[in-house]
Chain A
Amino acid sequence: MKSYTDLTGKYLKGQKKRSLLTIFGIILSVTLLTSIGTIGMSYWDKSVRQTLRDFGDYHVSLNGISGEAVPKVKNNATVKSAGVISREGYAVIKEANEKEKKEDPFAAPYRYLNVKEYDASAMNMLHPQLDSGRYPENPNEIIILSSSLSYFSKQPKLGETITLNLGIRKVASTGEDKKINGLGDFGWDLDETFQAQSQKEYTVVGFMKPSSTGSWSSRYIFPAITFNDNKSIDNNKNYFIYVKMKSLNDIKKKTEDLMSSLQLSNVEQGSAMQLDRESYIENVRIEYNNELLKLYGKSTYEGVNNSLTLAFTAVITIIMICTIAMIYNIFHISVLERISQFGMLRCIGATPAQIRKIVLQEAALLSLIGIPIGILTGTLFMKVLFYNISLLTLGFLNDIRMVISAPVLITAGLLGLLSVFLSAIGPAKQAARVSPLEALKNVGSTKVEKITKIKKSLLVKTLFGIVGQFASRNLQRNKKRFRITAFSMIISIILFIVFSGLVGFIQQTTQISGMQYSYSLSYNGPSGRIDDTVYKHIAKLNAVEQAYKFYNNQVMAIIPKDKINPKYYEFNKNRYVVSEGEGYRTDNNYLTSYGDNGLDALKSKLITGKIDKEKMNQENGVIVQQKITMTTEEGKQLILDQTRFKVGDHIKIRTFDRGQKGYQTVTVVGIVDQDLLSKEYNSSHVVSFITTPKVYSNIMGSDIYSRIFILAKPEISNHMITDYLKSLPEKDAGFNYTDKVEELAQAKNDAKTFSIFFYGFIGVIVLIAFLNIINTVSTNLILRTNEFATLKAIGMTRKEVRKMIILEGVFYGLFSAVIGIILGTALDYGIHLLFTGALDADWVFPWYSIGIAFAGSMITTILATIGPMYRLNKVSIADALRSVN
């Protein structure tokens, strides 16, 4: 031995088992940190790539900037780079002929290309996805959307030249430019005309992919992109500038400053939509690419940044606390066991500082072994996980690739080291405080704590008898150790409840809220109606389980005063202000019909009443849906009825259209709490009257429906449905369909992937707690070997000893479960509130996770006790007694 510090190594070797346990704890913790860091980085990387693809690689876009201002933006000191886009104009690629107009009087008169010029930076930032070919490199080259090809009279091929007449759209009746409204390119006017302004020749160099969110993209106007060499900025033209800032700090202020330097202050601001937004672009002057900014923690919405940072910090903190609890415990026990040895060292002249150094050096040595292994196992663990993900191609992660990041690994290591240091510092100080006298008092033996105060519990005594009382008192011997051990279990329980809550929460938010259906077909053309032949075609398709015509319109209703739920009235007095007749006139009511088959399906949701279509048709029968869920200003979630209609009540309702019929009386024939296609309560303050198509047309004076909901049979391939739905917009650009099949499947996959991660992490945390309990319980028991021998000697049977030890475990479990469940549930609610800044979902009381946590905690603690118990019961009484006497 060269130095006193060599003692460290000797101690560690001397208690191999404990050293291994500590190393194992460190490894687990660093593994966890590394994995979380790696998964975080990989997910971030994936999100960035996806966001760049879907939203573009820029920070903010300035829309409708005049030509003279373009160089000012580009040369602004805060701007790093800017991509410039301008509209070249529309070009007709197909005009409806007379025959088509005859067949369908509402047919779109034209199909257009919407030609825009991108400069090189814009091309890089927005990088349109190509099916084939390349990007245009000079103003004579163009790329067009591949799905527009079928509308050309002669389909252009790559390298061929097309001649486009570029111009503007005019409304014939007024002679004005067609304004692009909120629906933008989707809408057309039947009297729309096209006014050509120039003719240009382009070489087609590429075909663009339809956007990934295809369902709502226009079949009426197709994008085409040509190149702008920025040599000719036209001062009279408006430009869209996509800007990357030098720094993202205070991006909002910088952008506003930039705008005011252009004498454009107080402009409208918003968040960018996905790239195929097209028409939305003109309404807002500044659009922040918030999806991307969010990923850099610089979203212009503070709530989002805070929520995400807090959640991430919370996870890391919890892992560190768990590790610290475990490692502290191990060090604490190991120091306790060596009190007399430290006393001895003090006797022979070691200073407290030297003793502290010995203990801290132990910690350092163990870290040196544990941390690199932890980083390695964490990385390996992730490799395996990612391999599995790529095998299963799970949901949102299927595009993920593993990012091994040096800063993450280093941070994980440093956090691990910090945990170990924080754990060891307390015990090290304790060891340093040992007085030399201790050595003389307990030579060579471990010290059992001195007990001076014990709480007596009558409850425990009556419940578990003398043995139980014993067990409960034994736990009070070293309260600190008891608390720390229970603490690790408590943390596991808290984590479990919180993570389960998060998983549920994510499932809720990724689930499509509102209506649940496979497909929805809607029509936005000028006629506003879907032809019955379309419905009939869909209804008889093999893969269609059900198809519902959706008639829906807002109606005014007079709500009698005594039918308003007073509780609801308290929160929403302003809804009932216009007196009319015996009640208030309200306008947030809908008259709805899902067709006759919809009423049949609604029967299962009926709370009271009866659905008899004949009778409903005769007496204007309606089914009332009046239950809603709402959040009060204090953030309290309420589920309550807005009105208190009962079967047999009469209600006066009328359409908004004054030219139509006046008030008519409907009769309540039934009550439902949820809508036909919904599995949740209505969250908007709406009273719905669901009825037959006949009653609907009686009241509305119209039998138009513009939407069909389709439920597909899960077992049959859906391509018949999708083929048909795809074919509709090609014939009539007013059709759009939404496909929720993939969305639902995707949402399920996402939730599953999240579960795998979350439960994996909880698993490791529970393992840490489990080891901690085994360690503490076995130490507690071994320190008391002599006591057990005495108990046996005076006649306690083996069974009773076993019972006592197991009860100690049970008490650990009980204590941890109760505290953990209370704290976990509270925290779960807290995190829920925290996240409401970023997402919105209901909080559900976590009964299920509480049950599992309770059972798990009991089983874990009992299991942790059994091992040491058997070891202890094997020790012969005589040997144990002899060791003392």
Chain B
Amino acid sequence: MEILKTVNLCKNYGSAEAKVEALKNVNFSVQQGEFVAIVGASGSGKSTLMHLLGGVDRPSSGQVIIDGIDIYARSEEELAVFRRRKIGFIFQSYNLIPVLSTEENIKLPMLLENKRGDDKYVLELMGLLGLTERRQHLPSELSGGQQQRTAIGRALINKPSIILADEPTGNLDSKNRKEIMDLLTFSVKKYNQTLIMITHDMNIAKVADRVVRIEDGVLLQPNEVSPF
């Protein structure tokens, strides 16, 4: 089942002569439960694509359709609600909220929903992430791996259908890198989630169901991918 689709997606920065085309007519679709790795050189448009898929930026033209809904036809408010229900973000530099504890950071999207929340699920998730002992700690008191696990917890808490991860292991050592990847793959399998991940790490890309490559804002289809 197709969960995400882009139609002629374009993103330009600047105007007239200074115009930079960050994405050019990207047409791309992802099936539910699929793990897609996006690779490309720095400045190729990976992050722009990721932001557009996640609904945090606005395209210059084209559409992003998730679960049959054209997300950019929605209002800003609706889009925010859509994001917290359907999409889980994971960033390279974790972006945890420094004033909230581990548990609170994880629960935040749920709390934004004004839901009392499923405490059992929260506990289960923290157990899975190995954060039970650290639940009361502030981000500044956590190691990098723990911080990223917290961020993953936050991305998973509302059981979103799509997880967008922007180099989630970029700041981690190899041991932590492996742990995080195991967690992510385990989670998407368990909850039948779709994972779209930007990465430089070829070992990770190999684990993906599919690898797409971006060069100068143009998405190269799998058959165009040069063998690594």
Is A855 part of the contact surface with B, judged by Cβ < 8 Å? no
- Cβ contact within 8 Å between B140 and A795: no
Q: Which residues of B contact A799 (CB under 8 A)?
A: 77
Q: Are A878 and B48 in contact (CB under 8 A)?
A: yes
B163 to chain A, nearest CB (A): 12
* Cβ–Cβ contact A474 & B99, under 8 A: yes
Residue in A470, A474, A800 whose Cβ sees the most chain B Cβ within 10 Å: A470
B81 surroundings in chain A (CB, below 8 A): 795, 797
Q: List 24 A-B contacts (CB under 8 A).
A: A466-B112, A470-B97, A787-B98, A791-B108, A792-B83, A793-B54, A793-B83, A793-B95, A794-B108, A794-B154, A794-B155, A795-B109, A796-B80, A797-B77, A798-B76, A798-B80, A876-B56, A878-B47, A878-B48, A878-B57, A881-B51, A881-B56, A884-B93, A885-B47
Question: In this assembly, does B34 line the interface, its C-beta being within 8 Å of a C-beta of chain A?
Answer: no
Contacts of B99 in A (CB 8 A): 451, 454, 470, 473-474, 476-477
Q: B112 to chain A: which residues have CB within 8 Å?
A: 466, 794-796, 800
Nearest residue, chain A, Cβ from B13: A879
A448 and B80 within 8 A (CB)? no
Cβ proximity bits B89-125 to A, threshold 8 Å, 1 near / 0 not: 1011101111111000000110110100000000000
Q: Across the interface, do A448 and B98 meet the contact criterion of CB distance under 8 Å?
A: yes
Chain A residue numbers with a CB within 8 Å of B91 are: 790, 881, 884-885
- Is the pair A885, B167 in contact by a Cβ cutoff of 8 Å? yes
Interface residues on chain A, size class: 20 to 34
Give, as a whole number of angstroms, the nearest-CB distance from B40 to chain A. Answer: 15
The residues of B that contact A474 with a CB separation of less than 8 Å are: 99
A452 to B98, CA, bound (A): 9
Bound-state CA distance A800–B76 (Å) is 12
- Assess A877 versus B84: contact at CB under 8 Å? Given A451-B98, A794-B109, A800-B112: no
B177 within 8 A of A: no
Q: Which residue of A lies closest to B48 (CB)?
A: A878
* Structural contact, A885 and B92, CB atoms closer than 8 A: yes
| In the complex, B141 has a CB within 8 A of chain A | yes
Contacts of A786 in B (CB 8 A): 95
- Count of A-B contacts judged by CB separation below 8 Å: 108
* Given A787-B95, A795-B112, A798-B80, also A451-B85 (CB < 8 A): no
Q: Closest 3 CB pairs between A and B?
A: A795-B84, A878-B57, A797-B80
Chain A residues positioned under 8 Å from B58 (CB to CB) = 876
* Candidates B80, B97, B138; contact of A795 at CB < 8 Å: B80
A residues 824-878 near B (Cβ < 8 Å) are: 876-878
Extra contacts, 8 of them, besides A794-B84, A794-B154, A795-B84 (Cβ < 8 A), are A454-B101, A466-B111, A793-B95, A795-B81, A797-B77, A878-B51, A881-B51, A885-B93
Report yes or no: B57 in contact with A876, Cβ–Cβ below 8 A. Answer: yes
Q: Is the CB of A473 within 8 A of B51?
A: no
Closest to B157 in A: A794
> B12 to nearest A CB, angstroms?
13
Bound-state CA distance A474–B99 (Å) is 7
A800 to chain B minimum Cβ distance, whole angstroms, is 7
Mostly, the A contact residues are helix
Compute how far the CA of A789 lies from the CA of B95 in the bound complex, rounded to whole angstroms.
9
Roughly how many angstroms separate A477 CA and B114 CA in the complex, as a whole number?
25
Q: Which residue on chain B has the smallest CB distance to residue A471?
A: B99
A787's nearest neighbour on chain B, judged by CB, is: B97
Q: Is the CB of A452 within 8 A of B51?
A: no
Q: Most chain-A CB neighbours within 10 Å: which of B77, B95, B155?
A: B95
- A882 contacts the other chain (Cβ, under 8 Å)? yes
Q: Give the distance in Å from the alpha carbon of A878 to the alpha carbon of B91 in the complex.
A: 12
Residue from the list A452, A477, A793 in contact with B56, Cβ < 8 A? A793
* Smallest CB gap from A799: residue in B: B77
A156 interfacial contact with B, CB 8 Å: no
Give complex CA distance A474, B82 in Å. Answer: 26
Contacts of B93 in A (CB 8 A): 884-885
With a cutoff of 8 Å between Cβ atoms, the chain A residues found around residue B138 in the complex are 451-454
Whole-angstrom distance between the alpha carbons of A878 and B48 in the complex?
8
Q: Quick one: closest B residue to A790, CB to CB?
A: B95
Which B residues contact A (CB, under 8 angstroms)? Answer: 47-48, 51, 54, 56-58, 76-77, 80-85, 87-89, 91-93, 95-101, 108-109, 111-112, 114, 138, 140-141, 154-155, 158, 166-167
Chain B residue numbers with a CB within 8 Å of A800 are 80, 112
Cβ of B95 and Cβ of A884 under 8 Å apart? yes
Q: Check A450 for interface membership: any CB of B closer than 8 A.
A: yes
A465 at the interface (CB under 8 A from B): yes
CB distance from A884 to the nearest CB of B (A): 5
Considering only CB atoms, which chain B residue lies closest to A873 in the complex?
B76
State in angstroms the CA–CA spacing of A453 and B54 once bound together. 33
Q: Once the chains are docked, how many angstroms separate the CA of A881 from the CA of B84?
A: 17
Once bound together, how far apart are the Cα atoms of A794 and B83, in whole Å?
6
Q: Select one of A448, A452, A789, A795 contacting B83, CB under 8 A.
A: A795
For residues 770 through 820 of chain A, which have their beta carbon under 8 Å from a beta carbon of chain B?
786-787, 789-800
- CB proximity of B106 to chain A, nearest CB, Å: 11
Contacts of B114 in A (CB 8 A): 465-466
Determine whether the beta carbon of A473 is less than 8 Å from that of B100: yes
The distance from the CB of A601 to the nearest CB of chain B, in whole angstroms, is 65
- Which of A454, A465, A881 has the most chain B CB within a 10 Å cutoff? A881
Cα A408 to Cα B45 in complex, Å, equals 65
Q: In the complex, which residues 462-490 of chain A have their Cβ closer than 8 Å to any Cβ of chain B? A: 465-466, 470, 473-474, 476-477
Q: Given the complex, which residues of A lie within 8 Å of B166, measured CB to CB?
A: 885
Encode contact with B along A652-694: 1 for CB under 8 Å, 0 otherwise. Answer: 0000000000000000000000000000000000000000000
Contacts of A798 in B (CB 8 A): 76-77, 80
A465 — which chain B residues lie within 8 A by C-beta? Answer: 114
Contact B83 A477 (CB under 8 A): no
A454 cross-chain contacts in B, Cβ below 8 A: 99, 101, 138
Q: Which of A787, A789, A876, A885 has the most CB of B within 10 A?
A: A885
Choose one: A453, A794, A797, A882; the contact of B89 (CB below 8 Å): A794
Contact A795 B85 (CB under 8 A): yes
Chain A positions within 8 Å of B85 at CB level:
795
Shortest beta-carbon distance from A164 to chain B in Å: 94
Complex CA distance for A473 and B97, rounded to whole angstroms: 11
Residue of B whose beta carbon sits closest to that of A474: B99
A453 to B158, CA, bound (A): 28
Please report the C-alpha to C-alpha distance between residue A793 and residue B87 in the assembled complex, in whole angstroms: 9
CB distance from A787 to the nearest CB of B (A): 6
Residues of A within 8 A of B98 (CB): 448, 450-451, 477, 787
Q: How far is the CB of A696 from chain B (nearest CB, A)?
A: 78
Task: Note all chain A residues with C-beta closer than 8 A to B76.
Answer: 797-798
A126 vs B76: C-alpha distance in the bound complex, in angstroms? 82
- Kindly provide the distance from the CB of B88 to the nearest chain A CB, expressed in whole angstroms: 8
Residues of A with C-beta under 8 A to B95? 786-787, 789-790, 793, 881, 884
Measured in the bound complex, the distance between the Cα atoms of B187 and A337 in whole Å is 40
Residues of A within 8 A of B111 (CB): 466
Nearest-Cβ distance from residue B14 to partner chain A, whole angstroms: 13
Tell me, rounded to whole Å, the shortest Cβ–Cβ distance linking A364 to chain B. Answer: 36
B88 contacts across to A, CB distance below 8 A: 794
* Complex CA–CA separation, A787 to B155 (angstroms): 15
Least Cβ–Cβ distance between A541 and chain B, in angstroms: 75
Q: Which residues of B lie under 8 Å from residue A793 when comparing CB positions?
A: 54, 56, 83, 89, 95
Query: With A and B bound together, what is the CA distance between A453 and B140 in angstroms?
Result: 10
Say yes or no: B84 contacts A796, CB within 8 Å.
yes
Pick from A451, A789, A876, A877: contact of B140, CB below 8 A: A451
Assess whether B56 is in contact with A878, with CB atoms less than 8 Å apart.
yes
Chain A residue contacts of B57, Cβ below 8 A: 876-878
Closest to B155 in A: A794
Q: What distance in Å separates the Cβ of B110 from its nearest Cβ neighbour in chain A?
A: 10
Contacts of A792 in B (CB 8 A): 56, 80, 83
- Considering only CB atoms, which chain B residue lies closest to A879 in the complex? B57
Min CB distance B90 to A, Å, is 10
Query: In the complex the two chains form, what is the Cα distance from A796 to B109 in whole Å?
Result: 8
Q: Which residues of B contact A790 (CB under 8 A)?
A: 89, 91, 95-97
How many Å from the CB of A7 to the closest CB on chain B? 30
- Chain A residue nearest to B141 (CB atoms) is A452
Contacts of B108 in A (CB 8 A): 466, 791, 794
